């Protein structure tokens, strides 16, 4: 079992729709959870982080964390073609500072 | 307000040569992390350093790879006797002292081994 799993996609959504990206992790003691966006050939760009169970909203983005089920998700409302990118989920396992990344989900927003 | 800086952005080496990748963290950041991204794969943690200390090198290959973060100057990731399998994007990230959770990534160095 991979430590952090994401569906590789591509996930295609029409412009203006809600994109839902999911991530599961294996280390139950993980403390911190991050979503990064990576455009092709570019570096990861931090979108959001979440530490506690529940929802966290920032503009069009909402991160959701469920530690009991060991999953974290990212919702993108009013999706735009410029949101087309690979979204990386990162988890900090218990007792460490390093990130464990999923392989990413490729999102395509169709105009 | 400069972000994380890496150089060179692109590096071409022949098999057997040495590659040196440099990373300057964001101003005020004293924690540096190196990650490697192979084509079509996710980022893999390599090493975590603070000034003059290697904190976690659990992701570093046992041979040919080394990293340092001296008191003065950038962090260096050094790959000796490169092989074609070392071709990848190498990203450096930094975080501020006292807030080691959120890491900010540099633009990366794309290493090509011929």
CB contact under 8 A, A99 and B104: no
Cβ of A101 within 8 Å of Cβ of B42? The answer is yes
What integer pLDDT is reported at residue B5 of this predicted model?
96
A43-66: pLDDT as tens digits: 999 999 999 999 999 999 999 999
pLDDT at residue A94, as a whole number: 82
**Inter-chain CB proximity A99 and B31 less than 8 Å:** no
Cβ neighbours of B13 (radius 10 Å): 19
One pLDDT digit (tens) per residue for chain B, 114 residues = 579 999 999 999 999 999 999 999 998 888 999 999 987 778 999 999 999 999 999 999 999 999 999 999 999 999 999 999 999 999 999 998 755 678 999 999 999 999
Confidence at residue A95, expressed as pLDDT on a 0 to 100 scale = 80
Residue B110's pLDDT is: 96
Could you give phi then psi for residue A74, rounded to 5 degrees? -130, 125
Under-50 pLDDT residues of chain A: none
Q: How many CB atoms lie within 10 A of CB B84?
A: 9
pLDDT at residue number B63: 94
- Cα torsion through B33, B110, B86, A30, rounded to 10: 30
For residue A98, what pLDDT is reported?
87
Kindly state whether A96 is in contact with chain B, defined as any CB-CB distance less than 8 angstroms: yes
Q: Compare CB distances from B102 to A49, A96, A100 and report the shortest one's residue.
A: A49
Q: Does A93 touch chain B (CB under 8 A)?
A: no
Check A88 against B45: CB less than 8 A apart: no
Question: Token digits for B34?
Answer: 């190196």
Q: Which residue has tokens 């975590």?
A: B48
């Amino acid at each position: 079992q991979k430590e952090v799993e994401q569906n590789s996609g591509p996930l295609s959504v029409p412009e203006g729709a809600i994109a839902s990206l999911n991530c599961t992790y294996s280390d139950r003691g993980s403390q911190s959870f991050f979503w990064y966006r990576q455009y092709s050939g570019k570096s990861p760009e931090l979108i959001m982080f979440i530490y506690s169970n529940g929802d966290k909203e920032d503009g069009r983005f909402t991160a959701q964390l469920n530690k009991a089920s060991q999953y974290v998700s990212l919702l993108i409302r009013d999706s735009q073609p410029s949101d087309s990118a690979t979204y990386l989920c990162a988890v900090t396992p218990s007792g460490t500072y390093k990130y464990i990344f999923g392989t990413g989900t490729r999102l395509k927003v169709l105009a | 307000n400069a972000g994380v800086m890496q150089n060179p952005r692109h590096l071409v080496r022949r098999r057997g040569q040495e590659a040196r990748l440099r990373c300057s963290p964001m101003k005020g950041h004293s924690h540096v992390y190196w990650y490697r991204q192979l084509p079509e794969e996710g980022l893999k943690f390599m090493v975590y350093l603070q000034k003059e200390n290697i904190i976690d090198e659990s992701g570093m290959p046992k041979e040919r790879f080394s990293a340092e973060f001296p008191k003065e100057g950038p962090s260096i990731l050094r790959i000796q006797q490169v092989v074609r399998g070392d071709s990848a994007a190498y990203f450096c990230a930094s975080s501020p002292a006292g807030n080691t959770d959120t890491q900010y990534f540099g633009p990366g160095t794309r290493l090509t081994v011929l």
